[in-house]
Structure 1
């Protein structure tokens, strides 16, 4: 990623956070991992999980790779790590997040159903959300036929396709 793209990404995240009334300051955890950074859950900006670091911040082997760890323990461990990462605690919760063309997402329709989709272009609209002004992202998804609509993160109607989102969808009975 070049410097100009990084500046664009940071500016967009900051703008979304400010539109949502969130602070863009980072809070440091005792182990030095910044869990409030908007990049900590982004697939474009991977961060080491807290499980992979010792208190001193050096890398250690992941307990999930040990021989006494079974598939059930691995699933529970990944779910706990994912829910400790920053993000919404509920599917309907507004959450400032910046999307790009081609990003896999989950969207909520007017009927309240959740569907997988893809951000179809960088042509983002700016407009009034339920709370304040925000961004609306164009998404292509299928309900029988192919549909393209705009969805706003500040309305809680679009989420990134992450492990955290899938856990929330599974708990709500959508997966």
Structure 2
């Protein structure tokens, strides 16, 4: 069993993936942890404490442990700074490749062969595969300047998602 403990109304709920008879099942199960989950200690600190899994009739697998080691974490704000983590993944320069997966309809910024940056939208679910600066990669179809449609590859640094970080980089480079 592999999961994260969530506390709702003084009850422990564990999101888990459990492998039973060769099939991965995902869901929410309740467990009696015997841990004091009062509001004064949560959500600042989450605790794992010898949780006994209640697996239905004979569904227990030899590779699914019934006991988790005790775990205590630090304050939530020290562990999860999502904004900072997001910025660490963003490119530091507009020309840098960025392994990003786009969806149809996503707003993007693209760099043309002439080196100009334009806003556009991913126009289709169909992507092309081909060589990039970093090996094999995907090329996304983008419509920009109202009617021009071309394919661009994130691994070539020529397409970026329309995010605050991308806009900051464009502004610093004088494109906005």
TM range (shorter): 0.5 to 0.7
* Counterpart selection for 2:124 from 97, 101, 121: 121
> What are the within-5 Å matches in structure 2 for residues 34-113 of structure 1?
56-57=75-76, 84-113=87-116
Deviating more after overlay: 95-104 vs 122-131: 122-131
Q: Considering only aligned residues, what root-mean-square deviation do their CA atoms show, in Å?
A: 2.1
Higher relative contact order (CA 8 A, sep 6+): 1
* Segments ≥4 residues shifted beyond 3 Å: 81-85
Q: Which runs of 5+ in 1 are unaligned?
A: 1-54, 60-77
Aligned residues: 99
Tell me which residue corresponds to 2:64.
none
Q: 1:123: Cα distance to partner?
A: 0.5
Q: Tell me what 1:162 maps to.
A: 163
Larger % of strand: which? 2
Give secondary structure in 1 for the equivalent of 2:76: coil
1:100 counterpart SS class: coil
Q: More helix by proportion, 1 or 2? A: 1
What is the distance in 1 between the residues matched to 2:86 and 2:103? 23
- Work out the CA distance in 2 between the residues paired with 1:101 and 1:150: 13
In 2, distance between residues paired with 1:165 and 1:149? 20
Q: 1:118 and 1:82, CA in 2 relative to 1: closer, same or farther beyond 3 A?
A: farther
List runs of 5+ in structure 2 lacking aligned partners. 1-73
TM-score (norm 1): 0.53
1:15-70 deviation per Cα after TM superposition (whole angstroms, max 9, x unaligned): xxxxxxxxxxxxxxxxxxxxxxxxxxxxxxxxxxxxxxxx71159xxxxxxxxxxx
Q: Post-superposition shift, 1:86?
A: 1.6
Indicate the structure (1 or 2) with the bigger Cα radius of gyration. Answer: 2
Contact persistence 1:83–1:164 (CA under 8 A) = no
